Amino acid sequence: MKIYTLSFSPRLAVYMISICWMGNVNAQNNDPKLIDQAATKETIALFNHLHTLSKDHILFGHQHATEYGHGWYGGDNRSDVHSVTGSHPAVIGVDFSGLSGRTDALIEKEKTALRKIIWDTYKRGGVTTVSWHFNNPVSPTDFYWNDSTAAAAVKDIIPGGGYHQRYKSILATIADLVHSIKGADGNPVPMIFRPYHEFDGNWFWWGKGHCSREDFISLWRFTVSYLRDTLQVHNFIYAFSPDCTFNSENEFMDRYPGNAWVDLVGMDDYADMGRDRYDTAAAIRKLKIVSGFAEKNGKLAAFTETGLESIPNPEWWTTTLLPVLMTKGLHLSYVLVWRNDSRSPTHYYAPFPGQVSVPDFLKFYKDPFTLFEKDLQGIYR
């Protein structure tokens, strides 16, 4: 066992103590286990560390954090969070939206960009989570539902549908990318893959109003099976995350594909966290449903998306978000806030130098409960 000296920060020392206890935690019978029995050792390690850390900490994440930020695009080793705190977020969100519905040349360009972002995050010791704002494969529209042009595509891309072969080709493109992103030892880089999120709403073409429960479950199961069993992708942690429209475990499970098909359960909730209202009691109640379900069913849990656009509340981090995350009984592996648009003056969810919530965000960063990239050590070992 490696010996750590007292020169480490208190935040890191607490983290390393939790790592040392990993062996005892893994001995418990009710531990979560990956649904992929052939998962790479690095993916298993990440999964187990996320489980252990969720008992006393939470990883902070930011969508597209190192791709672009408020007023900038591109650049090496840059993020708005890093500019404020000196550390990148522990979890970096990327998107596979650019891997279909475009020319082959543009898809290859997107692969190159994603490969670098994901590899750089892994090399630094951070975690990648992947959303999929998948453009409608049947009608010439984007991922949002439009009553006049969008097709109810789910029934057409599942087995037996007229566009099923096209869907298999899109999944093969994803597999080709993830197979190509490898660590120094040649093993593929682990990722949390979160397809078809917010499926309980109607704003995406895969939403509840545009496909049956049975067809959505068929889509989910086929997606996992084809990636894992046919295309031999063994570095995914599969995440299931509705929006915050549920009020009971039965409602949360309405389109759940079954324990054999999900590794992590989560929830996206902007509405209760200040966008529509400040109702943190409602957010906590829903997160308890998510966390409780995870504990009973051997899954990880996460607050997969949240945030307050423009962060006009200068104390939002420590008076709204942090008390929710620290609620007794919640065991969430990470929380992710949405992106900072590079061109919009108002569309941002993490602070940047000079933004009004910076002092409060620094308090959030320094709290021992929250973990950022600099706090992670050996999460893939």
167-198, pLDDT tens digit by residue?
999 999 999 999 999 998 899 999 999 999 99
> 357 in helix, strand or coil?
coil
Residues with Cβ within 8 Å of 354's Cβ and at least 6 positions away in sequence, in order, are none
Distance CA 46, CA 32 (A): 12
Asked if the model's pLDDT at residue 15 lies above 50, the reply is: no
Instruction: Report yes or no on 380 lying in a domain.
Output: no
Instruction: Report yes or no on 381 lying in a domain.
Output: no
What is the mean pLDDT of the segment spanning 33-48?
98
Instruction: Report yes or no on 5 lying in a domain.
Output: no
pLDDT band at 140 (very low <50, low <70, confident <90, very high): confident
Instruction: Report yes or no on 3 lying in a domain.
Output: no
What is the mean pLDDT of the segment spanning 18-44?
69
Distance CA 331, CA 354 (A): 33
What is the mean pLDDT of the segment spanning 348-363?
98
Helix boundaries (H) for 181-276: 213-225, 249-252
What is the mean pLDDT of the segment spanning 57-64?
98
Asked if the model's pLDDT at residue 114 lies above 60, the reply is: yes
Closest residue by Cα to residue 265 from 254, 277, 276, 281: 254
The helix (H) or strand (E) run that includes residue 314 is: none
pLDDT for res 17: 37
Asked if the model's pLDDT at residue 282 lies above 60, the reply is: yes
Distance CA 345, CA 278 (A): 24
Tell me the CA distances in angstroms from 161 to 113, 141, 167, 371, one per residue in order.
32, 19, 10, 44
Instruction: Report yes or no on 219 lying in a domain.
Output: yes
Instruction: Report yes or no on 2 lying in a domain.
Output: no
Alpha carbon 172 to its chain centroid, in Å, reads 21
Reported pTM: 0.93
Instruction: Report yes or no on 1 lying in a domain.
Output: no
Task: Just list the catalytic residues.
Answer: 198, 305
CATH code for the domain of 250? 3.20.20.80
Better-predicted residue by pLDDT, 23 or 296 = 296
Q: What is the mean pLDDT of the chain?
A: 93
Q: For residues 234 and 38, is the Cβ–Cβ distance under 8 A?
A: yes
> How large a percentage of the chain has pLDDT more than 70?
92
pLDDT digits (tens, 9 = 90+) for 291-314: 999 999 999 999 999 999 999 999
Tokens of 344: 């919009």
Please provide the size of the chain in residues.
381
Distance CA 52, CA 16 (A): 11
- Quote the domain boundaries for residue 53: 10-375
Instruction: Report yes or no on 124 lying in a domain.
Output: yes
What is the mean pLDDT of the segment spanning 277-282?
98
pLDDT for res 141: 87
pLDDT digits (tens, 9 = 90+) for 144-172: 999 989 999 999 999 999 999 999 999 99
pLDDT for res 75: 87
Asked if the model's pLDDT at residue 3 lies above 50, the reply is: no
Buried/exposed code over 49-88 (b: 16+ C-beta within 10 A; e: otherwise): bbbbbbeebbbbbbbbbbbbbbeeeeeeebbbbbbbbebb
The count of structural domains within the chain is: 1
pLDDT band at 30 (very low <50, low <70, confident <90, very high): low
Better-predicted residue by pLDDT, 70 or 26 = 70
**Exposed, middle or buried by CB within 10 Å (0-12, 13-18, 19+), for 245?**
middle
Dihedral sign from CA coordinates of 352, 356, 357, 359: positive
